[in-house]
Amino acid sequence: MTDNSNRFVRTRYAPSPTGPQHIGGIRSALFAWLYARRQRGQFILRIEDTDQKRTVPGSIELIQESFDWLGMDIDEGPRQGGAFGPYIQSERLELYQTWANWLVDSGHAYKCFATADELKEMRATGKGYDRRYRDYPAARAAELEAAGKPYVIRFKMPLSGLTAGEDMIRGIVEFDNAQLQDAVLMKSDGFPTYHLAHIVDDYHMKISHVTRAIEWLPSFPLHLRIWEAFGWQQPQYAHLPVLLNPNGKGKLSKRKQQFADAGKSVPVLVHEFIEAGYLPDAVKNFLTNIGWNFGDNREMFSTQEAMQRFDLKDVNAANSAYPIAKLDWLNSQYIQTSKVEYLASLLKSVLQEAGYTVDDERLRQVVPILQVRLKTLKDVVPMAGFFFADWAAFQAPPPDILVQRKMDSVSTAKVLEESIPVLQGLKDFSASSQHGAMTQFAKSVGFKNGQVFGSLRAAVTGQRVSPPTFETMEILGREESLRRIKLALQALAQPTS
């Protein structure tokens, strides 16, 4: 294989515009992007829309939005422009037709006039296309073309021997030519197939490294032979291992679904990660970890740190199960280490989407006591939505929430009632002052801290689970906290049905 190590590094991501981005494709893009950034090269976005039947309107915008959310900058692409455009294949048809005809004229390809019925008959034999037009007399082929008979252009693969190439991840791979077909390069509608288009584009866009899924490895010998036929210097290829379902069984689905081993619905599309409340840096860290190892026994690292070490040659060739539980852990770590202002801006959007009116100052107070408790941004709603609800409309929770373990309504009411003068008498209403006073109070009334603190937490939040009790009460303020405790006492005094 030709050594491209001295060529300027240009990598690309070339998705089909068929809808939202699957996380497997994004991982391929991430590896290409990291490699380009480490090598101080360029990263290109190219849209491969030659299969017009599968094109979904709006997909290009969704693809670009995925990169924007992840913070992966693009050097050249449909939106960015560049010296090697256009970056949408359907706008480059004349170029593909020129080179397809060149392959025919130079004897590397041929026009195949087989009809759909003929191809169906060939497939029924179990042997596939029988190359009946490969050596068809030129004069007869010209007559068929003149008569307007549709044709495709097929590549002439060698009929015997081996085709060998080097994969950056797997090393030298060899293929028996006798087992390979004469693949279609140009369809009868004038659109190229992937086999021709990506090679023409990679050459003219000066792509130096191609990252793509392992599913393309069987087509690797065809692509090597096409590069050879053109006489062009081929890029280096890295065929990435497959992402498996969380249970390790089968390729990761393209649809969000429940896996028993994961214990929850698993997001697989970029917008599903956004909707589930994951941070973009956590998702990048998570994906980089699947099939590549940072070293130093580190699971968590910044994008900048990954750029300094990432090499396609270090990617593990083995397929990997999708470790969704690890993403929850990583996401919680990124939340914990985020700056308050940044996290507040993300949580504000989540709270507003849930229907809350968000006071920015209050949110800045709430964020520090939430950071160690959130796995995803969405957790803020059940955990701390009460801070942003209408305080005047607050209603005490039912006794089954107020009454703590090994307590009853009577003892709970006693604790709440006797805590009021203690809280009223504090010189300041800071969390530390409250904690010290209520610790002593719990001892004086003969209950454990957890029972007293839990009763207060339920009374002021209306929830079984919330941020720390006294930090919560400090944010609510003395007046509002005492009002809520009194409402809880009224609820405990109501006769049960």
Catalytic site positions: 254
194, amino acid identity: Y
- Pairing, β 171-176 against β 162-167: antiparallel
Rounded CA-CA distance 269/271 in Å is 6
155, amino acid identity: F
- What φ, ψ does residue 435 adopt, rounded to 5°? -60, -45
Q: Copy the structure tokens of residue 166.
A: 């080097």
Q: Copy the structure tokens of residue 39.
A: 């090598």
The secondary structure element, H or E, covering residue 337 is helix 324-337
DSSP of 417-434, one letter per residue? HHHHHHHHT-SS--HHHH
How far lies 157's CA from each of 153, 164, 193, 268, in Å? 13, 13, 16, 37
DSSP of 142-185, one letter per residue? HHHHHTT---EEEE---SSSEEEEEETTTEEEEEEGGG----EE
Rounded CA-CA distance 67/76 in Å is 13
Cα 99–Cα 101–Cα 107 angle in degrees, nearest 5: 105
Name the residue with tokens 């002593």.
Answer: 440
